[in-house]
Amino acid sequence: MKNIDKESDKYLKAKRKVAEIKEFYISLTSYVVFIVALAGLNYYVNQWRNAWFLWAAFGWGIGIVFHAMKVFGGVSFLSKDWEERKLKQFMEDEDRKL
């Protein structure tokens, strides 16, 4: 019975990871499409004399970078493992106080 539970846990974790990666690629695609559209609009309006679309690209790009780091393991403080470790640490600290 434990073997079945372990296999289902592995499957659920893998499925969750695939969903996170899919969500990242959807976000990245949206980013590229909208930034290209904004760049086109910026060029149409003033031939990039004032490249204001870069502000949107930079701001949104920061979010995309953090999302990528979270999904692909670049930032440990954004991961589920970090949350679980902190919860365990706080619970152990409470036990020591008692």
Give the residue extent of every domain in the chain: 2-97
Residues 18-74 have pLDDT tens digits of 999 999 999 999 999 999 999 999 999 999 899 999 999 999 999 999 999 888 877
Q: What is the model's pLDDT at position 85?
A: 81
Q: Is the pLDDT of residue 77 over 80?
A: no
Q: Is the pLDDT of residue 1 over 80?
A: no
Radius of gyration of the chain (CA): 21
Spatial distance between the Cα atoms of 8 and 36, rounded to a whole number of angstroms: 42
Contacts of 64 (CB under 8 A, 6+ apart): 27, 28, 31
